[in-house]
Structure formats: C-alpha cells, structure tokens
C-alpha cells in the first residue's frame, strides 16, 4: 500500500466513498525518493518491459477490485530515473 503525505491535494486515508464520490492521491515525486525506491523494488531487471505492465489496484469495501495501467508520463519518469543512474 502506498501512503501519501497529508497535504491539501490528497484525500485522507482511509476514506469512505459513496456512490458518485471520488478520492485523489498525489505523490510528490520531486521531494521524495519515491521514484528511486520504486525502481529499486520493482524495476531493476528488464525495466522497459516491466514498466509496461505496472498496474494500480483499487479495492472497494463491497469486494470489487479495479485496476488500471499507470499513465505514460509516470512510466517515462521511471525509465528516466533508471537512465540517470546509468549516466550520472
């Protein structure tokens, strides 16, 4: 589970959502080591291939699960992080 910092951009955790409501979570990529940590934990081998299959999962209180691929911008940012490590 990815937790977020308490700011004015992200919804609190946990949160109860009713029909039609939504929650948003922002992870500050520039201010933390989140990108490096993610690469270390999930993308060290075959990063270009693995990054195409990263998905997020949302679990509801009624037992449903939703999943979606990460957006292309985040994928590129992850690969850029790896590239910057190789070419300091």
Indicate the domain borders of the chain. 46-86
Residue 8: predicted pLDDT:
75
Q: pLDDT tens digits for 9-57? A: 788 878 888 888 888 877 777 766 888 888 888 888 888 899 999 998 8
User: Helices 34-42 and 72-86 meet at what angle, rounded to 10?
Assistant: 80
**pTM of the full structure:** 0.67
Is residue 4's pLDDT more than 90?
no
Burial classification of residue 79, based on how many CB atoms lie within 10 Å of its CB (0-12 exposed, 13-18 middle, 19 or more buried) = middle
Q: What is the DSSP string of 1-61?
A: -------SSSPPSS----TT--------TTTSSHHHHHHHHH-SSSHHHHHTT-EEEEE-T
């Amino acid at each position: 589970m990815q937790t977020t910092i308490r700011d004015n951009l992200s919804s609190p955790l946990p949160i109860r959502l009713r029909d039609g409501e939504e929650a948003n979570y922002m992870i500050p990529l520039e201010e933390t080591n989140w990108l490096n940590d993610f690469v270390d934990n999930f993308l060290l081998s075959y990063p270009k291939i693995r990054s195409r299959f990263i998905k997020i999962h949302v679990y509801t209180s009624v037992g449903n699960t939703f999943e979606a691929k990460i957006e292309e911008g985040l994928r590129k940012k992850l690969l850029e992080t790896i590239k910057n490590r190789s070419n300091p």
